[in-house]
């Protein structure tokens, strides 16, 4: 079972999806072929060729707790408690900068992130630090009166086996707001992206309305900070945008179950939440290529229109946009002729950016991605971003 909302612990990416972080140098077509040997539950299907669940722990990038920091820490009327040594809080500086810039870009009131670190020390590792956690939750409430409090675990709390659930439950009853534990110790998973899933699991479990009133024109957009490109796009179809998780409010998260559909700009980021909303709350996940480049964006718009019953408006919009961009596209292709590009970023995001470069006539000889998800949580073949890239762009 992928979505067990009775437990506060989410399955890691290597357990659910067969995600890998190590692969020999080769062609994208070879990685697409070889990774098809794995899938969710790869231990049981003979998937040995690219299977990290049977290998030793290794990690050379960011950790899951950092991803919780950049997700739960960016919800505007919530507070994130880092139950961790103060060193784990060093990321607050850069995430505060990104958060403030993100708010400014979206024309929202600029403020600082609200993250509190419990400052676990050596004595706490011996005697426990649940008292510090409880005090930090009290401090969060007294300072900010948030509408929800998230708790991120750390390697330190995992080592000593802190019973975070008990404190969360106790303080939730006391404060009468959701207090959400998220288990994201750095060594829990080799894949930093499991931190996305930990935050999204907590949201599904404790925030999303269980008895939703459907809004037929509302679409969940799982996104990071950035500029708002989706509101004008979806407005062409008569749809409204519910941006999550970054820069959202607790109310935005509660109404996730009320939407007509869920889309994402990167399937690495959106996989767990989108599939969970469909399975647990009946909100359809748009199963199409990512909206990058002409081929992917056209397919994405058409599938969203099909699910929301707006096919005629979609075709008219696509035709208008093709006409609008044609002259500029021709100019750019002439300007960029003979240029080479290289992409280094998250896996599904990388696949989308390569598609854009290829459509601009830029030659892409290589790419470095931070990990590879052979499948996503819905197991939908339409979302196989690497196969789509290979099939359409070489």
223 versus 394: the higher-pLDDT residue is 223
The pLDDT-based confidence of 392 (bands split at 50, 70, 90) is confident
- What's the pLDDT tens digit per position in 52-100? 666 666 666 678 888 999 999 999 999 999 999 999 998 899 999 999 9
State pTM to two decimals: 0.91
Comparing 43-47, 127-131, 195-199, the range with the smallest average pLDDT is: 43-47
Tell which of 206, 227, 244 closes a domain.
206
% of the chain exceeding 70 in pLDDT: 93
What is the model's pLDDT at position 300?
A: 94
Q: Is residue 23 part of a domain?
A: no
| 222 shares its domain with 202 | no
Same domain membership, residue 239 and residue 109: no
pLDDT at 131 over 90: yes
Q: Is 167 found in the same domain as 141?
A: yes
Within this chain, do residues 272 and 147 fall inside the same structural domain, yes or no? Answer: no
**Each residue of 246-290: pLDDT tens digit?**
999 999 999 999 999 999 988 888 999 999 999 999 999 999 988
- Whether residues 69 and 195 share a domain: the answer is yes
In a domain, 76, yes or no: yes
**Are residues 294 and 201 located together in one domain of the fold?**
no
- Domain enclosing residue 378, as ranges: 218-393
| Residue 360 included in any domain | yes
Which of the residue ranges 112-126, 140-154, 163-177, 348-362 would you say has the lowest mean pLDDT? 348-362
CATH, residue 170: 3.40.50.1980
Residue 102 lies in a domain: yes
Structural domain includes residue 7:
no
DSSP collapsed to 3 states, the chain: CCCCCCCCCCCCHHHHHCCECCCCCCCHHHHHHHHCCCCCCHHHCCCCCCCCCCCCCCCCCCCHHHHHHHHHHHCCCEEEEECCCHHHHHHHHHHHHHHHHHHHHCCCCCCCCCEEECCCCHHHHHHCCHHHHHHHHHHHHHHHCCCEEEEECCHHHHHHCCCHHHHHHHHHHHHCCCEEEECCCHHHCCCCCHHHHHHHHHHHHHCCCCCCCCCCCEEEEEECCCCCCHHHHHHCCCCEEEEEECCCCHHHHHHHHHCCEEEECCHHHHHHHHHHHHHHHCCCECCCCCCCHHHHHHHHHHHHHHHHCCHHHHHHHHHHHHHHHHHHHHHHHHHHCCCEEEEEECHHHHHHHHHHHHHCCCEEEEEEECCECCCCCCCCHHHCHHHHHHHHHC
Considering the domain architecture, whether residues 198 and 222 belong to the same structural domain is answered as: no
Q: Is residue 150 part of a domain?
A: yes
Q: Is residue 101 domain-shared with residue 178, that is, in the same domain?
A: yes
Domain end point (choices 206, 231, 254): 206
Residues 155 and 273 in one domain: no
Quote the number of domains for the chain: 2
Residues 234 and 372 in one domain: yes
Question: What is the structure's pLDDT at 200?
Answer: 96
For residues 312-325, average pLDDT: 97
Residue 21 counted as domain residue? no
CATH code of the domain in which 356 resides: 3.40.50.12380
Final residue in a domain of this structure, among 206, 229, 261: 206
Whether residue 364 is found in the same domain as residue 310: yes
**242 with 299, same domain?**
yes
Q: Decide if 24 is inside a domain.
A: no
């Amino acid at each position: 079972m992928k979505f067990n909302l009775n437990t506060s612990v989410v399955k890691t990416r290597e357990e659910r999806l067969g995600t890998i972080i190590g692969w020999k140098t080769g062609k994208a077509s070879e990685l697409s072929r070889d990774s098809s040997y794995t899938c969710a539950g790869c231990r049981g299907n003979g998937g040995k060729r690219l299977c990290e669940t049977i290998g030793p722990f290794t990690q050379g990038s960011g950790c899951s707790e950092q991803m919780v920091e950049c997700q739960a820490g960016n919800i505007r009327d919530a507070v994130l408690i880092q139950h961790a040594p103060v060193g784990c809080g060093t990321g607050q500086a850069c995430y505060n900068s990104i958060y403030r810039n993100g708010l400014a870009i979206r024309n929202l009131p600029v403020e600082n992130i609200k993250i509190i670190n419990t400052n676990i020390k050596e004595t706490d590792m011996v005697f426990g630090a649940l008292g510090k956690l409880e005090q930090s939750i009290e401090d969060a409430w007294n300072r900010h009166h948030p509408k929800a409090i998230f708790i991120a675990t750390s390697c330190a709390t995992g080592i000593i086996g802190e019973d975070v659930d008990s404190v969360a439950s106790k303080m939730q009853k006391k404060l009468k707001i959701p207090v959400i534990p998220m288990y994201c110790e750095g060594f829990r998973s080799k894949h930093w992206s499991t931190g996305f899933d930990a935050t999204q699991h907590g949201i599904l479990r404790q925030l999303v309305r269980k008895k939703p009133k459907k809004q037929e024109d509302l679409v969940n957009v799982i996104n990071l900070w950035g500029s708002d490109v989706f509101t004008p796009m979806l407005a062409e179809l008569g749809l409204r945008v519910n941006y999550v998780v970054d820069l959202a409010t607790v109310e935005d998260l509660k109404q996730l179950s009320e939407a007509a559909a869920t889309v994402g700009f990167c399937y690495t980021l959106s996989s767990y939440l989108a599939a969970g909303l469909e399975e647990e709350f009946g909100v359809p996940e748009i199963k199409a290529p990512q909206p990058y480049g002409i081929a992917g964006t056209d397919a994405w718009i058409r599938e969203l229109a099909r699910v929301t019953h707006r096919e005629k408006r979609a075709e008219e919009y696509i035709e208008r946009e093709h006409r609008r961009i044609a002259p500029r596209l021709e100019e750019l292709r002439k300007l960029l002729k003979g240029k080479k590009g290289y992409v280094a970023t998250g896996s599904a995001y990388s696949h989308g950016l390569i598609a854009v470069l290829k459509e601009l006539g830029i030659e892409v000889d290589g790419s470095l991605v931070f990990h590879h998800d052979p499948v996503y949580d819905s197991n939908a073949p339409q979302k196989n971003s690497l196969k789509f890239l290979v099939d359409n762009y070489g």
